[in-house]
Amino acid sequence: MHVEGERTPDRGAAGLPGRPELVVLQGLTFDTQRRVVTHRGRSGELTGREADLFAFLLANPNRYFTASELVTNAWKASHLSTEELRVYVRRLRQKLGPLGLPLELTSQKWLGYCLTMPPQAAEVH
């Protein structure tokens, strides 16, 4: 994964301190400031919560997280319910699906949610 730029604390929901501004991975570009995912000429715009969730999972590929772990770690918002997480996961899948990304947001009973990607896509560049 190639990362360009550093975020500053005043750049919005996806612009959490320490989060890279631009993530480039196997033809996928994720602009965390604009909250736009681009792949092979197709783009999708994410909401703040969708962008935070996607950024967290993208930084932790091929690793399962329970709903409560995602609410706490991706959003730092333990007051959100796991049902709200499921809604955001569904919306994120709907937005990412048409882009033909080299990854998939999967879920497995008892394990949780995972951003799976083939080994060559998960390599750091």
pLDDT band at 122 (very low <50, low <70, confident <90, very high): very low
Domain ranges of the chain: 2-122
User: What single letter denotes the amino acid at residue 90?
Assistant: R
| Higher pLDDT among residues 119 and 76, named by residue | 76
> What was the pLDDT predicted at 120?
60
DSSP code, position 123: S
User: Does the structure show a pLDDT above 50 at 6?
Assistant: no
Average pLDDT over residues 74-78: 85
Those residues with Cβ within 8 angstroms of residue 59's Cβ, 6 or more apart along the chain or in another chain: none
Task: Count the Cβ atoms, other than its own, within 10 Å of residue 94.
Answer: 11
Q: Of 117, 115, 124, 7, which is closest to residue 57 (Cα–Cα)?
A: 115
User: Does the structure show a pLDDT above 50 at 123?
Assistant: no
pLDDT band at 63 (very low <50, low <70, confident <90, very high): very high
What is the token pair recorded at 39? Answer: 């792949």
Q: What architecture does CATH give domain 2-122? A: Orthogonal Bundle (1.10)
User: Does the structure show a pLDDT above 50 at 29?
Assistant: yes
